[in-house]
A and B are shown apart, each in its own frame.
Chain A
Amino acid sequence: MSENMPRVGDAAPAFELPTTAGGWYTLVDALADGHHALLVFLRHYG
């Protein structure tokens, strides 16, 4: 595991990704209004 990997207590890396619904997800926007974010990274669809 690289020393550069983010750890608990670090700032979350900001990102923006397309959604399958045709929109865009931005982490900053997801955290608006006092919301937390749970990111579930899938292995693959199989």
Chain B
Amino acid sequence: MRRQAAQFEELATRVVTISFGPASKAAAYLEETGSPFELLIDAKREVYKAYGMRHSLSGALSLKALRQQRELVRQGAALHGVQGDALQLGGDVVVDAGGILRLVHRSTNPADNESPETLLRLLASLQRSSGPQAADRPAAGLP
């Protein structure tokens, strides 16, 4: 998704990644992945819970996920072991400028992510519908 960073920016979208892993490991993660996005630490996983991210043994240990992990190792990716809860799954969420959820993708296994193309299509649609007056609109969905 880092390859599309400029496209997200063009679509007036601020991208952040959220982890519950230890902050001490964050620098190594950012360096290795080359992620251009801000990284937030949710050590207590309160935001994971608020957004309903799954916590699943069967999902975390799915055959598809294990195959993907094996492929990454084959390609030379470094593995750091599990940092934190191995059963916690992630996901992708799009919030529009008015504070309304427009996409909530809760991963069913570690290899299950929303495609960048789908996210860009949705954001382009939001951008078309928001128009130039979007900057003047209050964030109605948020307190």
* Contact assessment for A40 and B92 in the assembled complex, using a CB-CB cutoff below 8 Å: yes
A-B contact count (CB 8 A): 185
From the candidates B48, B107, B141, name the one contacting A11 in the complex (CB within 8 A).
B141
Query: 29 interchain pairs (CB within 8 A)?
Result: A2-B52, A7-B104, A12-B95, A12-B99, A12-B101, A27-B95, A28-B99, A28-B139, A31-B95, A31-B97, A31-B98, A31-B139, A31-B142, A32-B139, A36-B97, A37-B94, A37-B95, A38-B13, A38-B15, A38-B16, A38-B94, A40-B37, A40-B90, A41-B18, A43-B88, A43-B89, A43-B110, A44-B82, A44-B83
Whole-angstrom distance between the Cβ of B11 and the nearest chain A Cβ: 7
The distance in angstroms between the C-alpha atoms of A21 and B93, with both chains bound, is 22
Instruction: Write out the residue numbers on chain B whose beta carbons fall within 8 Å of the beta carbon of A25.
Output: 16, 38, 40
Asked if B6 is at the interface of the complex by the 8 Å CB criterion, the answer is no
Find the A residue at minimum CB distance from B13. A36
Question: Main SS of chain A's interface residues?
Answer: loop
Bitwise, A1-18 to B at CB < 8 A (1) or not (0) is 110011111111111011
- 20 further contact pairs, Cβ within 8 A, besides A17-B41, A20-B39, A44-B83: A1-B106, A9-B101, A12-B93, A12-B95, A14-B142, A15-B46, A15-B50, A17-B47, A25-B38, A27-B142, A28-B143, A35-B13, A35-B14, A36-B95, A38-B93, A39-B16, A41-B47, A41-B107, A42-B19, A44-B84
The distance in angstroms between the C-alpha atoms of A31 and B20, with both chains bound, is 23
Contact-residue bracket for chain A: 35 or more
Instruction: Write out the residue numbers on chain B whose beta carbons fall within 8 Å of the beta carbon of A28.
Output: 99, 139, 142-143
Chain B residues engaging chain A, CB cutoff 8 angstroms = 1, 8, 11-21, 23, 25-30, 37-42, 46-48, 50-54, 60, 79-86, 88-104, 106-107, 110, 119, 123, 126-127, 130, 134-137, 139-143
